[in-house]
Structure 1
Amino acid sequence: MIKKPLLRYAGVALLGTCLLGSCTTTKKYNALLAQKVNLEREKADCETSLAKATTERTDLSKQVAELTEYRQQLASDTTQLGNVLRKTQSLYADLSSSYDKLMKNHDKLMANSALESSKLSKDLSRREEELKKLNEALAKNRSQVDQLSTDLKSREERLNELERILSEKDKAVNALKTKVSNALLGFNSKDLTVNVQNGKVYVSLSEQLLFKSGSTKVDAKGQDALRKLANALKDQNDVNVVVEGHTDDVPVSKGTVGMQDNWDLSVLRATEITRILTSAGLAGTKITPSGRAENVPLDPAKTAEARQKNRRTEIILTPKLDELFKILEVN
């Protein structure tokens, strides 16, 4: 590139030569004039190239600034899940390193050839494609997070509903215990107890209250207790009743009519109690008689006192949990 002062000096020199040497020929003058025109044309070309280079430098500076701003904005959006975050940080570290190199080489790149500029353009395009893929990955993970949040909200609603139903069930069980206990007031606590276990009401009646030894016929006092219990349960439409007969570990006497072992004795006693409850007005569809023989003792000892505890009938009252099961069945 030829500077303006140089052109001025060249013109002055030419003019001075012509003035001082009046013998200069027209041909030589014309040659110098042509040389001056060429120099001015070259000057104009240089100024055009300079303006173009300046414009290109400004455009590249603007692109670098925009990419830097875009990178900073992207960095603020990468607070996502753990694995995605680590991957994103790694990608951004690489990207930051690349940008640092770009900034350091900025001045040098301004003077590089068209080939180097093309290479830079391809590199920037590749980075933009990486950023595009990263954005797509972030959008996908954001969608997954939104779906997880929706699922979590749904599960929380189910859990709240489940807790509500369980709370109502506990209230119902306690109310049922109170009602049964009030109905059976007056009976000896050693012969009849009402307790709540595992969300169920257990009415335990001793053998002394219900049966004579080895018999399956309920005594009058026991029938009175069962009728009172049936009256208390008549309006409890959402309660299932299981009658469990229990014996001690002493086998039934050989030759006892209709019984081979304690299984028969426990089942027959449970069945007899079920008949009394249904004859007192309790719906048969709600009652299930069963016998457990000696297999579920209250006291495993072999003493007379322990065996007396084990000879009992347990009437188990279980609230229906249809609404609860429906919630649990929902996927």
Structure 2
Amino acid sequence: MVMNKSILMFSFLSGTLVFSSCVTKKQYAQLQTDYNKLDKSFQDTKMKLVACGTKSKSLEERLAEAQKANDELKASYAALQGSLDKSIQQNSQGNVNISKLVDEINASNKFIKQLVEAKDKSDSLNMVLTNNLTRSLSREEMKDVDVQVLKGVVYISLADNMLYKSGSYEISERAGETLSKIAKIIMDYKEYEVLIEGNTDTDPISRPNIRNNWDLSTLRASSVVQALQNTYGVDPKRLTAAGRGEYNPVASNDTPEGKMRNRRTQIIITPKLDQFMELIDQAPESTEPVAE
């Protein structure tokens, strides 16, 4: 197209030279004007052609970039599809694990509920037992009897000057009425075990057939057990006698008052552990977690 333009311009100039002598000045001026227009058009066309070439090159580069980006997107899509397939497979296994975990949690919650109910029942019975016992004792008897509930266990602490003759393990007549009231409570609550525990101060003892405070504390506990069985009819299968000597003090042995507190016999009433052991045996077994 540029070549055609050059030929036309050459022809135009040749014609102008040939016929310049034959044309008027007005005609020549018009021809010069037309030539100038044609030359300007030629230059504009030439510039547009260069611009088109540059633009074409730019489009090719952009096309190449777009093709590269498209390839990268395809690779990313393939990777995402692989991850999705793997996630679906793992999620299927995860659903199975979650289902097992939910079953274990439900079983554990049921077991905990049973334990709480058993403990609440035991605590309630302990409170009723304690209230019944304290109401049955006179104000005078309560001076020598201390009743407490600690960690689900009822402790009845009896002062030795009320229970025994001085320095002896024989039960005094004064203790009879108090023991009878305690025995009645024990017999009313047949589901409880009864431990009789003797305690002494640190003063050594030397009596015939009593070698030391271990002997004295155990003999005193045995005397109470036999009184509950033989005199008040408590089932001996529920009774246990134990002595702790001077090694379970509740006060300092440095003062007469402290020694007096330490010389005591405790009647410890506890719920039978059978129901708790049965519950423990029924505890759900947890399964090992499945490795992912």
TM-score relative to the length of structure 1: 0.60
| Correspondences of 1:1-331 after superposition (within 5 Å) | 105=67, 128=81, 130-253=83-206, 256-279=207-230, 280-329=232-281, 330=283, 331=285
Q: 1: distance between equivalents of 2:240 and 2:142? A: 25
Q: 2: distance between equivalents of 1:261 and 1:285? A: 28
* Contact in 2 for aligned 1:227/1:276 (Cα 8 Å): no
Runs of 4+ more than 4 Å apart: 104-109, 122-130
What runs of 5+ residues in structure 1 fail to find an aligned partner?
Answer: 1-103, 110-119
AA partner of residue 157 (structure 1) = K
AA partner of residue 226 (structure 1) = L
Deviations 1:266-289 (A, max 9, x none): 000000110000111100000100
CA deviation after TM superposition for structure 1 residue 221, in Å = 1.3
Q: 2: distance between equivalents of 1:182 and 1:149? A: 49
Q: 1: distance between equivalents of 2:242 and 2:107? A: 41
Deviations 1:294-321 (A, max 9, x none): 1111102411111111111000000123
Higher relative contact order (CA 8 A, sep 6+): 2
Cα pair distance change 1:232/1:108, threshold 3 Å? closer
* Contact in 1 for aligned 2:202/2:246 (Cα 8 Å): yes
Percent identity between matched residues is 28
* SS of residue matched to 2:142: coil
Cα pair distance change 1:139/1:108, threshold 3 Å? closer
The count of corresponding residues between Structure 1 and Structure 2 is 215
Deviations 1:67-95 (A, max 9, x none): xxxxxxxxxxxxxxxxxxxxxxxxxxxxx
* SS of residue matched to 2:210: coil
What runs of 5+ residues in structure 2 fail to find an aligned partner?
Answer: 1-65, 286-292
Query: Which residue is 2:8 aligned to?
Result: none
* Contact in 1 for aligned 2:202/2:253 (Cα 8 Å): no
CA deviation after TM superposition for structure 1 residue 134, in Å = 2.2
Cα pair distance change 1:222/1:136, threshold 3 Å? same
CA-atom RMSD, angstroms? 2.3
Q: 2: distance between equivalents of 1:309 and 1:123? A: 83
AA partner of residue 247 (structure 2) = N
* Contact in 2 for aligned 1:242/1:317 (Cα 8 Å): yes
